[in-house]
């Protein structure tokens, strides 16, 4: 960081994590729909331009996938393994660029920002389940896993990283419950139909990790699943299936529920 006189004279100015411009961190002119203080603080570090360009999903229209407009996909979906999910933002061009910068270019400095945005979706799921205390609603947070090779290439699993942040903020245990079975081609290159078929049997739950879930004296068993983008919902659905199957098989819970919190809805 270079020396700048303005920084010295006006210490409340700080560098925006997203665009790198100097911004006044105290300004509250753009509201942030997140309650958790740590997440709020991260988002308030952004400059006005970046903060106001976040396309928050204010009111989900689809009660299943959290899409902010009429959703033709969810009513025709027959095999709903997940209870429901909520997404924090619309996947517009700016969000696409931001995710690409983080995920593909590897600009990990954006990680807290994305996690803080995801917190909005997380809090919405909690409030729709009738409470603010996430630790009492969910027994565990987990993330959609990445294929081994992809993980090796990228060096991190974006969903896992965001899930870990949430787990720290809200006091819910993060557990790497899922594993990916086989390597599939890149999702973005496929049609909807082939994606749904292809995802079947792609994930399995890790039994050893499952043993670490704190279930004693729990009436309703709920797991929260984290991912970056909801496109067709096939990934989260298959993950939910793997989790429920394994939990039922292990006799842990008769009717486990899996909810989703995703960063963006495309």
Partner 1 sequence: MKVLVYAVETKDSRRAWWSVAPEVDKRYWKNVAFREGVVAGWGEQAAAKPARPEGVVALKERLPLGIAESACSRLAELWKSGSYSSSMGDDMRAAIRAAWEEAGEAERSGAESEVELWDHESVSEAGFEQGRALAVQARELAERLRGKSLLQAELTAMLGDGRGFAGEIMQVMQLAALLGAVQMYPAVTPAGSKPVRFRLRHGEGKPAALRCGRCGSGEERLRRTHCASCGRWCAYCEACLTMGRCRECALLIVGLPAPDRPLNREGELPADRLADRWKLSPAQSTAAAAALAFMYREPRKRSLSPFWKLSSSSDSRAFLIWAVTGAGKTEMIFPLLDAVLAAGGKAAIGTPRRDVVLELAPRLAKAFPQFRHTVLYGGSEDRFDAGDLTVATTHQLIRFRQAFDLIVIDELDAFPYHNDPMLHFAAANSRKRDGTTVLLSATPPSELQKQARRGKLAHARVPVRFHRRPLPVPKRLTVPPIMRWLQRRRIPSRLFKEIKESVRRGAQLFLFVPYIREIEPLVQCLRRCAVGFDLERDTIEGTSSQDPDRGGKVTAFRDRRIRILVTTTILERGVTIAKSDVFVLDADKPLFDASSLVQMAGRAGRSADDPEGLVFFAASAWTATQKQAARQIKEMNAYARRNGYLSSE
Q: Which residues bind partner 1 (CB under 8 A)?
A: 1, 105-109, 151-157
> DSSP letters along 89-146, please?
EE--HHHHHHHHHHHTS--GGGHHHHHHHHHHHHHHHHHHTT-S-HHHH-SEEEE---
Report the residue number, 1 or 29, with the smaller CB distance to partner 1: 1
Shortest approach of partner 1 to residue 104 CB, angstroms?
Answer: 9
Report the residue number, 87 or 164, with the smaller CB distance to partner 1: 164
Q: Where does residue 251 fall: left (phi above 0), alpha (psi -120 to 50 degrees), or beta otherwise?
A: left
Nearest to 199 by CA among 158, 236, 172, 246: 236
Shortest approach of partner 1 to residue 243 CB, angstroms?
Answer: 22
Shortest approach of partner 1 to residue 107 CB, angstroms?
Answer: 6
Report the residue number, 17 or 44, with the smaller CB distance to partner 1: 17
- Which run of H or E residues covers position 199? helix 192-199
Shortest approach of partner 1 to residue 45 CB, angstroms?
Answer: 16
Report the residue number, 121 or 144, with the smaller CB distance to partner 1: 144
Integer angstrom CA distances of residue 75 from 48, 64, 70, 71, 130: 38, 9, 10, 8, 24
Report the residue number, 19 or 250, with the smaller CB distance to partner 1: 19
For residues 115 and 98, is the Cβ–Cβ distance under 8 A? no
Shortest approach of partner 1 to residue 129 CB, angstroms?
Answer: 32
Q: CB 89: neighbour CB atoms within 10 A?
A: 23
Report the residue number, 1 or 59, with the smaller CB distance to partner 1: 1
Shortest approach of partner 1 to residue 164 CB, angstroms?
Answer: 10
Contacts of 159 (CB under 8 A, 6+ apart): 143, 144, 145, 146, 226, 227, 228
Shortest approach of partner 1 to residue 153 CB, angstroms?
Answer: 7
- For the record, the structure tokens of 95 come out as 């969000």
92-122 residues labelled b (16+ CB within 10 A) or e (exposed): eeebeebbeebbeeeeeebbbbbbbbbbbbb
Report the residue number, 12 or 108, with the smaller CB distance to partner 1: 108
């Amino acid at each position: 960081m270079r020396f700048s006189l303005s920084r010295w004279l006006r210490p409340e100015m700080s560098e925006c994590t997203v665009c790198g411009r100097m911004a006044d961190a105290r300004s509250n002119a753009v509201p942030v729909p997140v309650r958790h203080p740590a997440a709020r603080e991260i988002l308030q570090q952004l400059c006005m331009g970046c903060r106001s360009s976040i396309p928050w999903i204010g009111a989900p229209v689809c009660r299943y996938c959290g899409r902010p407009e009429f959703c033709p996909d969810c009513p025709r979906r027959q095999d709903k393994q997940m209870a429901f999910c909520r997404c924090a933002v619309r996947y517009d061009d700016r969000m696409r660029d931001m995710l690409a910068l983080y995920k593909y270019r590897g600009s990990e400095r954006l990680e807290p920002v994305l996690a803080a945005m995801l917190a909005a979706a997380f809090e919405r799921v909690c409030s729709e389940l009738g409470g603010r205390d996430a630790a009492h609603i969910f027994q565990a947070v987990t993330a959609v896993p990445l294929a081994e090779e992809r993980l090796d290439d990228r060096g991190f699993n974006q969903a896992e990283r965001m899930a870990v942040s949430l787990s720290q903020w809200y006091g819910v245990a993060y557990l790497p419950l899922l594993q990916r079975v086989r390597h599939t081609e890149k999702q973005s290159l496929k049609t909807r139909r082939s994606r749904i078929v292809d995802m079947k049997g792609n994930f399995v739950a890790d039994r050893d990790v499952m043993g670490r879930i704190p279930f004693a004296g729990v009436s309703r068993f709920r797991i929260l699943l984290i991912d970056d983008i909801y496109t067709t919902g096939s990934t989260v659905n298959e993950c939910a299936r793997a989790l429920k199957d394994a939990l039922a098989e292990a006799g842990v819970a008769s009717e486990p529920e899996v909810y989703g919190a995703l960063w963006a809805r495309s």
